[in-house]
């Protein structure tokens, strides 16, 4: 009864016991698979909507499947195209399913006979496809075909759950998605940005123009990549001045970076501030070059484990 109307699910509690007994007597003791209807989740022709959104670091196509969840094609700078569905309710158990291409009633081109195996996962993101499979599904929709997921019902494996993606109103947002993909940089992804450093002048905690450019770029990427769940901000100082003063200076530097990223829309709950003064030099020397390298804030990005 996954994804069913909660009121229907709970309505049995108000039926008198004598009628429940009658229901048990009337319902046949066993049903064949042919007697069970598939559970279908699909946007109707008049409610089907595809939406495009994009930035300097991400491109996305989004489609809501009524009562089931939201389907997304997404590509982030430095990463491959991928597809996933986030469900409105958590999926209770893993099952094996398939993705296939179906032809809508108005389409006379026969569907691709290819059938892709897919693992339906527990939790709030049950369906995910990597680059090659996501590309096949995207191509299917561009041809006006329906990409349909199917898998056994969690409560009764004699019945199938089907989640088709409607191609209605797909083409216009898809053209915007393609334009976004063309301008998306191949570099600048997580591998490049996961360990970033902003440097400071002697006895200065204010972020200079170059530092602001670095942080603006970093904030834009963090907002695009939903897998990032933690940002560690570490303030440092060189060895000039007292240890106590340098500790406070490194704290102010870390706080200013934190405030800048927060002002760009990065969630404060994701960020952790730490400061070490002169105790963790990047270069353990007393030269001008070493001291310049040690006057810094390091920003380390962390991602949630892969699905």
DSSP letter for each residue of the chain: -TT--HHHHHGGGGS-HHHHHHHHHHS-S---GGGSPPEE----TTT--EEEEE-SSEEEEEEEETTTEEEEEEEETTS--EEEEEESS-B-S-EEEEEEEE--TT--SPPP--EEEEEEPSBS--EEE-HHHHHHHHHHHHTT-EEEEEEE-SS-TTSEEEEEEP-TT-HHHHHHHHHHHHHS-SSSSHHHHSEEEEE--TT--S--HHHHHHHHHHHHHHHH-TTEEEEEEEE---SSS-HHHHHHHHHHHHHHHHHHHHHTT--GGGEEEEE-TTSS-SS-S-SHHHHHHHSEEEEEEEEPPP-
User: Which of 7-16, 36-45, 57-66, 198-207 is the least confident region?
Assistant: 7-16
| Confidence (pLDDT) at 226 | 86
Report whether 155 contacts 33 (CB < 8 A). no
Q: What is the pLDDT of residues 123-179, one digit of tens each?
A: 999 999 999 999 999 999 999 999 999 999 988 888 999 999 999 999 999 999 999
Domain that holds residue 248: 190-303
When pLDDT is averaged across residues 225-245 and rounded to a whole number, the result is 95
Label residue 272 by pLDDT band (50, 70, 90). very high
| Assigned domain for 31 exists | no
Mean pLDDT of 223-252: 96
**How confident is the model at residue 186, as a pLDDT?**
76
Q: Are residues 245 and 170 in the same domain?
A: no
Question: Is 74 found in the same domain as 152?
Answer: yes
The verdict on residue 195 lying in a domain is yes
Digit-coded pLDDT (tens) for 17-55: 333 333 233 333 433 444 468 899 999 999 999 999 998
Q: Which pLDDT score, from 0 to 100, does residue 306 have?
A: 58
Domain boundary residue among 183, 201, 230?
A: 183
Q: Report how far residue 98's alpha carbon sits from residue 245's, in angstroms, rounded to the nearest whole number.
A: 62
Closest CA to 98 of 127, 125, 62: 127
Whole-angstrom distance, CA of residue 111 vs CA of residue 5:
33
Mean pLDDT score, 3-15: 33
Residue 18 domain-assigned? yes
Beta partners for 198? Answer: 297
Q: What is residue 185's predicted lDDT score, i.e. its pLDDT? A: 82
- Determine contact, residues 189/77, Cβ cutoff 8 Å: yes
Q: Say what the pTM is.
A: 0.74
Q: Is the dihedral of CA 98, 104, 105, 107 positive or negative?
A: negative
**Tally of structural domains, the chain:** 2
Mean pLDDT, all residues of the chain: 87
CATH number of the domain encompassing residue 89? 2.60.40.2540
Same domain, 168 and 194: no
Q: Are residues 198 and 138 in the same domain?
A: no
Residues 231 and 270 in one domain: yes
Q: Are residues 196 and 231 in the same domain?
A: yes
Pairwise CA distance, residues 101 & 111, whole Å: 6
Q: Which pLDDT tens digit goes with each residue over 53-112?
A: 998 889 999 999 999 999 999 999 888 999 999 999 998 999 999 999 999 988 888 999
* 57 and 170 fall within a common domain: yes
CA distance 251 to 236: 8
Token pair, residue 299, equals: 């920003």
């Amino acid at each position: 009864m996954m994804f069913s109307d909660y009121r229907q699910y709970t309505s049995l509690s108000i039926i008198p016991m004598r009628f429940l007994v009658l229901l048990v007597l009337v319902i046949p003791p066993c049903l064949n698979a042919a007697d069970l209807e598939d559970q279908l989740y699909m946007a109707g022709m008049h409610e089907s909507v595809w939406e495009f959104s994009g930035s300097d670091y991400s491109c996305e196509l989004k489609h809501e499947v009524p009562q089931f969840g939201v389907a997304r094609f997404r590509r982030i700078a430095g990463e491959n195209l991928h597809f996933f569905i986030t469900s409105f309710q958590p999926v209770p158990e893993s099952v094996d399913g398939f993705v296939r291409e179906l032809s809508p009633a108005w389409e006379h081109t026969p569907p691709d006979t290819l059938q892709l195996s897919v693992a339906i996962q527990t939790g709030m993101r049950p369906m995910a496809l990597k680059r090659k499979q996501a590309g096949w599904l995207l191509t299917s929709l561009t041809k006006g075909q329906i990409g349909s997921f199917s898998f056994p019902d969690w409560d009764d494996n004699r019945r199938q759950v089907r989640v088709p993606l409607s191609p209605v109103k797909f083409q216009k947002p898809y053209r915007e998605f393609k334009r976004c993909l063309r301008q998306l940089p191949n570099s600048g992804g997580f591998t490049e940005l996961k360990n970033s450093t902003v440097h400071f002048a002697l006895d200065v905690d204010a972020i200079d123009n170059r530092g602001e450019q670095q942080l603006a770029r970093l904030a834009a990427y963090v907002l695009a990549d939903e897998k990032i769940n933690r940002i560690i901000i570490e303030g440092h100082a060189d060895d000039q001045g007292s240890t106590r003063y340098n500790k406070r200076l490194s704290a102010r530097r870390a706080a200013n970076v934190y405030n800048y990223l927060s002002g760009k829309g990065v969630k404060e709950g994701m960020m952790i501030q730490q400061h070490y003064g002169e105790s963790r030099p990047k270069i353990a020397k007393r030269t001008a070059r070493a001291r310049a390298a040690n006057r810094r804030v390091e920003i380390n990005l962390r991602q949630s484990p892969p699905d």
